[in-house]
Amino acid sequence: MMCHNGKMQSPIDIPPDRLLFDPNMKPIHIDRISVMSEMLNTGQMPRVRIGNSARRPSANLTGGPLHGYKYRVQRVDIHIGREQVNGSEHTIDGRRFPMEASLSCSVSFPIQS
């Protein structure tokens, strides 16, 4: 998928007719249900900042298309439109949606096998 100025940039349009289904792809695993978090108003969007401490570690994502790495969830940005329209940054077949949530993660470390 391409945006207007190059590869792998945001926002993107997802054309459904170009999506490929991989029946062998494993599910993404989230290792924590409960995390310490703080909700902020950035002035542009609500943001949930995920804490990370020895007592309350952040959530990690593994599996699926993540290719043997563990990703630590750092924040969730929530894009919301006014009056239930156009909140999403990305589009599907040119269509915007009222809300979109994006996870920002960092590579924690490779998973040892």
pLDDT tens profile 28-49 = 999 988 999 999 999 999 999 9
Residues 100 and 73: their CA atoms lie apart, in Å, by 17
Fold of the domain spanning 25-110: Carbonic Anhydrase II (3.10.200)
Amino acid identity for residue 94 in this structure: G
The 10 Å Cβ neighbour count of residue 81 is 14
- pLDDT tens sequence for the chain (113 residues): 444 555 667 889 999 999 999 999 999 999 988 999 999 999 999 999 999 988 888 999 999 998 889 999 999 999 998 877 788 999 999 999 999 999 999 997 777 65
Q: What is the pTM of this model?
A: 0.79
